[in-house]
Structure 1
């Protein structure tokens, strides 16, 4: 199996996991937290779900892309240079 497919599959799975975890955090904070004022004066559910969660997941996405994703060629250079062509 081509290594490019393995890497692309790994990156797709990581992206899906991050998306599902983000949605779980957002729904939990938005629907199950109280209406007390937060640090910025907004309701705490809004600060957690709409301000802090996106900032936290931007950092997580940056780290995952930096350490887990890799540049792979999309053209089929191995087939072009193989002696069986």
Structure 2
């Protein structure tokens, strides 16, 4: 099996995991804090707290997580087969 597939599968699973975590974050704050009557809402910067944490803070947190994930865990993978064989130590 081509080692590029192994790397791309791992990175795809990490991306899916981050997307699932993003949805859970959004859902927990949107429905957890937003399930109260409107008169009981707390506000941050003029926005309801549930909206601020689910949409504004969530966007910032997950943008940073995507940046860190790409810089730390993702690898450059060559598209040409020749360079891939050279990295495996095979000769032409």
2:48 to 36, 43, 49: 43
2:57 match: 52
TM-score (norm 2): 0.79
d(CA) in 2 for partners of 1:39 and 1:23? 21
Structure 1: gaps (5+ residues): none
2:66 match: 61
- How many angstroms does 1:31 deviate by? 1.2
Q: Select the structure that is richer in strand.
A: 2
d(CA) in 1 for partners of 2:91 and 2:58? 48
Structure 2: gaps (5+ residues): none
Residue 28, structure 1, aligned to residue 28, structure 2: yes
TM-score (norm 1): 0.85
